[in-house]
Amino acid sequence: VNLILIEADEVNEDGVATLTDVRADHARSVLRVTPGAVIRVGIVNGPMGTAEVLSVGPFRISTKSFRAAATPERPRVDLLLALPRPKVMRRLWAQLAALGVGRIILTNAGKVERDYFDTHLLQPEVYRPLLLEGLQQARDTRLPEISVHKQFRKLVEDELDRIEPWGRRIVTDPSATSTVRAALAGASHSDRVLLAVGPEGGWSDFERDLLAGHGFMEASAGDRVLATTTACVALLTLAHDALREDRER
Amino acid sequence: VNLILIEADEVNEDGVATLTDVRADHARSVLRVTPGAVIRVGIVNGPMGTAEVLSVGPFRISTKSFRAAATPERPRVDLLLALPRPKVMRRLWAQLAALGVGRIILTNAGKVERDYFDTHLLQPEVYRPLLLEGLQQARDTRLPEISVHKQFRKLVEDELDRIEPWGRRIVTDPSATSTVRAALAGASHSDRVLLAVGPEGGWSDFERDLLAGHGFMEASAGDRVLATTTACVALLTLAHDALREDRER
């Protein structure tokens, strides 16, 4: 943990938050903070800065210095992901949040098993702590927005343009000749990037055509066939890297 | 599994291999092959091509067509990794092999717990099947070479130049201003790339200075602090992507 995240409603009117859960344990036993120490703290979906430790038992911190702190920018990259099996999804939440993603759109597809949608991992009270874990690793406060869609066609045809303003859309395929970088060349700063990652068995021809018809360009992250977790990490990394260089140019 | 890997000594003088383990089960129950089917097969560290299924019980394939098949190039990117905790290492083997890495050099560091070296995950009979799993996912045959080093200083000062011919060396740090792409610009085709990834708590100043003194340039994969698994996947992806564009230019 490289940042301790607190909820806005945990801060009282004096700017003091009292933490009693694993965050307090972590600060005491791993960070070994003592009263007077200054630690990195963020407010979920809010500013990130430093807070002063007032006491360690109970664990109380003052966020008075937060008046000057800035809220991190929302990551510009979003993910449209064919729902993987629960075991994979469990590990993915924190990794996606750590890499930085503005929105995660989970969808059905021909090669997604229907019962994957029954998992408790799609319930906010289960995935939210996993997302927070990733943010605390990466030092970010912006929780990705999550939506779950059981009908791929309805999602792409009727819902997507409303959920995700049209920006750059990429669907990945190891046989594509364009790189992610090339597909993002010249993206404007207000363009959001949406990366579509298919199920382990790949998109069907129908699904691929539907995506192509809704603005998704094919690109690849190399010619190797990657499992879902590795593919998501690789693609988010490449997209952020392309946007980063673009910003620095 | 997108490729079935067999060992050279599993092929008899008629070019026929008889498989009895999980590979035969996979071919029968997942790929649902029948006699006469043509499947993707690779020889470990050898050529990759197609083989004909002669029978499914016992599961026998003919590799006669292999005379014309090519051996994949060895990945140009290598990894110098501070040994992570066993739980992380277990998941990393297959992912690293899937992404493509020529050599994995595991090392001690100040923030590596000594008992991490006691894990059975560092025994070839344990990690080799995990590496093969990653290669079968990614359609590659080239097993990474593995070495384990309990003395960081001795490794860097005395052993590294022998193990890893001098090419491009990169040590990653979220605060570095150079990107991986910039650090690899103009690399010649014979240059191997060595990426150093530190322990979760980071390299010590001594370790960082020692690496700098042995040719490692600092670069970052972005300003987020990533856990070991995510960091390795991100860095290998960026390095391969930079070399790929270089090759295509």
- Name residue A6's beta-bridge partners: A43
pLDDT tens, chain B, 249 aa long: 889 999 999 999 999 999 999 999 999 998 899 999 999 999 999 999 999 999 998 999 999 988 778 999 999 999 999 999 999 999 999 999 999 999 999 999 999 999 999 999 999 999 999 999 999 999 999 999 999 999 999 999 999 999 988 899 999 987 888 999 999 998 888 899 999 999 988 999 999 999 999 999 999 988 899 999 999 999 999 999 999 876 665
How is residue B155 written in tokens? 């490794």
- A185 touching B, CB under 8 A? no
Which parts of chain A have pLDDT scores under 50?
A: none
Under an 8 A CB cutoff, do A237 and B224 touch?
no
Q: Tell me whether residues B241 and A227 touch, CB distance under 8 A.
A: no
Give me the residue from B95, B180, B245 closest to A179, CB to CB.
B245
Quickly list H helices, B17-123.
Answer: 22-29, 86-99
Cβ of residue B231 closer than 8 Å to a chain A Cβ? no
Which residue out of A1, A101, A237 would a mutagenesis test of the B interface target, given it has the greatest number of B Cβ atoms within 10 Å? A237
Angle between helices A228-248 and B228-248 (to 10 degrees): 60
Q: Taking CB atoms and an 8 Å limit, are A225 and B100 in contact across chains?
A: no
Distance from CA of A158 to the nearest CA of B (A): 34
- B238 and A240 within 8 Å at the Cβ level: the answer is no
Q: What contacts A24, CB < 8 A, 6 or more positions away?
A: A56, A58, A59
Question: Which pLDDT score is estimated for B114?
Answer: 94
Work out the minimum CA distance from B198 to partner chain A, whole angstroms. 15
Region class of B45: left (phi > 0), else alpha (psi between -120 and 50), else beta:
left
Q: What would the DSSP string read from start to end of B128-144?
A: HHHHHHHHHHHT---PP
Q: What pLDDT, on the 0 to 100 scale, is given for residue B244?
A: 86
Using a CB-CB cut-off of 8 Å, the residues of chain B touching A77 are none
CB contact under 8 A, B137 and A227: yes
Q: Does A225 touch chain B (CB under 8 A)?
A: yes
Per-residue model confidence (pLDDT) at position A68: 79
Question: Do residues B40 and B78 lie in contact, with contact meaning Cβ atoms separated by under 8 Å?
Answer: no
pTM across the whole model: 0.93
Nearest residue, CB atoms, B241 vs list A99, A138, A222: A222
The CA distances from residue A140 to A2, A78, A245, B13, in Å, are: 9, 16, 20, 59
Q: Is B201 on the interface with A (CB under 8 A)?
A: no
Residue of B41, B8, B241, B17 whose CA lies nearest to B135: B41
For residue A174, what is the nearest residue in chain B, using CA coordinates? B138
- B207: helix, strand or coil: helix
CA angle B91, B96, B97 (to 5 degrees): 110
Token pair 């992806």 is at which residue? B237
Q: Looking up tokens 């469990």, which residue turns up?
A: A90
What strands, in cross-sheet order, belong to the sheet with B103-107?
B145-149, B103-107, B77-82, B193-197, B168-172, B216-219
Contact A237 B222 (CB under 8 A): yes
Interface contact flag, B226 A181, Cβ < 8 Å: no
Q: Which residues of B54-67 are buried (b: 16+ CB within 10 A; e: fewer)?
A: bebeebbbbbeebe
Chain A touched by B145 (CB under 8 Å): no
Kind and range of the H or E element at A207?
A: helix A205-213
How many residue pairs from chains A and B have C-beta atoms closer than 8 A? 88
Q: Which residues of A touch B221 (CB under 8 A)?
A: 237, 241
**In this predicted structure, what is the pLDDT of residue B67?**
79
The interface predicted TM-score of the complex, written ipTM, equals 0.92
